[in-house]
Structure 1
Amino acid sequence: MRINKFISETGYCSRRETIRLIKAQRITINGLICEQNSIVIEGDVVLIDGQAIARKTESVYLVLNKPLGITCTASKDVTGNIISYINHPTRIFAVGRLDKTSEGLILLTNDGDIVNKMMRSENGHEKEYVVTVDKAITESFIEEMSSGVHILGVMTKRCEVIRVSDNVFKIILTQGLNLQIRRMCKALGYRVLKLERIRIMNITIDGLERGKWRNLTIDELNLLKQQLAYKLD
């Protein structure tokens, strides 16, 4: 199988992170520097930074109510990185990201397959946010946000926008452009003061204190896998 699939299945890191390791020439196969499309076959010796990869023994699925100031990266040399913050005994990585100045729901796991399915999917899978902006929300703002805003050279997909109060709204997205909500608001003359993600698909942070994490329940995990077209056991 391809090297990125091989490593993600060990639970060491996601396919995206594997690409970074390959570019940094930190992976070898049978003593040779790994390339982007290298194939691993049975009996090959795959090392990262000269060390063998330990295969995961049990899948871990966590939900964190991320506080401000935590960076969604696996790089331990980044101050305030999410992996050191969680300090879980199993090697895990975040599914997607929230920028450092945003807060709320982040999923973390050692299941590379579920990460790949979710990251491929911006695919109609809903993510819900509560957003506070710097001035009163108008009907025109709600209509334009809902219909699509031109950012990063593209028009954003239609989405659901609900006014909560004068300067607070909820938004449900099915895509994940870089800093999408902040860029959309800026394009319409608004500045985001607070951004909190409260739901990804069927997973919410209801009842979870800011800065705390918990394991997904069996029911949550089964429904999540159903939505990602897994075959359940």
Structure 2
Amino acid sequence: MMLFKFLQKTGYFSRRSAIRAIKYGLIKVNGKIIREPWFDINEEDKITFKGFEIKMNMPVDYIIYYKPSNKVYFPKEIKHLIPLENLPKSDEGLIILTNDSEIHRAYYKGFIKNKYLVEFSVPISENVNVQNIKISQISRNKAIITTIRIKVNQLKKIIPTIKKLKRIETEPIVLPVDLKPGRYRKMTDEEIIALKRILGII
């Protein structure tokens, strides 16, 4: 089977996005980057996308995961899912994982807000004039930061005094107060619908 055909059958990709992912070097076959969409694969090959193994005809899942700080691995039960937006090792908080390709495509094209509870090494001012970043001060050394299309590593370069960071919301999904670090749960039907609505899917 040709590689791009396999990607389509996983449910993650359209034909166009499969070919693009391959040409951008995001797909590995048995640990080796393959940039040829028509590359021939067989059933024994291990295919990964951004480090996550993918398989054909997998059931669609939607997961809310509370990533602990200083952890980089997901629980084995949800390793087949891909995060909408990951967090660096040192940080904690909400990660949404799914193998719904439509949600992934809409998320990367959209302008979804992420909110973080942040502690600073020195007092911070709300008057940080950076596009797509809003700071709502809680105390001299704490704030809620809202971002649009800015990854955590980029945020830390813009505001290098960030000492501790916890993602508390990926619009419209809020990190549940009863979810402990390292634990996860399935999204409710209401949460899935709300996410799809804000992404413009429904």
Q: If the TM-score is normalised by the length of the shorter chain, which range does it land in?
A: 0.7 to 0.9
Q: Deviations over 1:147-180 (max 9, x none)?
A: 21xxxxxxxx243211111200101111124612
Identity of aligned residues (%): 24
1:21 to 15, 20, 27: 27
TM-score under structure 2 normalisation?
0.77
Question: Which residue is 2:142 aligned to?
Answer: 168
Q: CA RMSD in A?
A: 3.2
Question: Which residue is 1:222 aligned to?
Answer: 193
Gap regions ≥5 residues in structure 2: 48-53
Q: Which structure 2 residues correspond to residues 1-233 of structure 1 after superposition, within 5 A?
A: 7=7, 10-11=10-11, 19-22=25-28, 25=32, 35=36, 38=37, 46-47=41-42, 50=45, 54-71=55-72, 81-82=73-74, 86-88=75-77, 91-121=80-110, 124-137=111-124, 141-144=125-128, 147-148=129-130, 157-177=131-151, 179-186=153-160, 191-207=161-177, 208-231=179-202
Letter in 1 for 2:83: A
TM-score under structure 1 normalisation?
0.68
**Distance 1:111-1:48 versus aligned 2 partners, 3 A rule:** farther
Q: Deviations over 1:4-47 (max 9, x none)?
A: 585165157996875332596566xxxxxx61xx369xxxx644
CA distance in structure 2 between the aligned counterparts of 1:195 and 1:9, rounded to whole angstroms: 37
2:71 is paired with a residue whose SS is coil
CA distance in structure 2 between the aligned counterparts of 1:9 and 1:107, rounded to whole angstroms: 22
Contact 2:11 2:58 in 1 (8 A): no
CA drift of 1:196 comes to 0.4
**Distance 1:129-1:93 versus aligned 2 partners, 3 A rule:** same
Count of aligned positions? 187
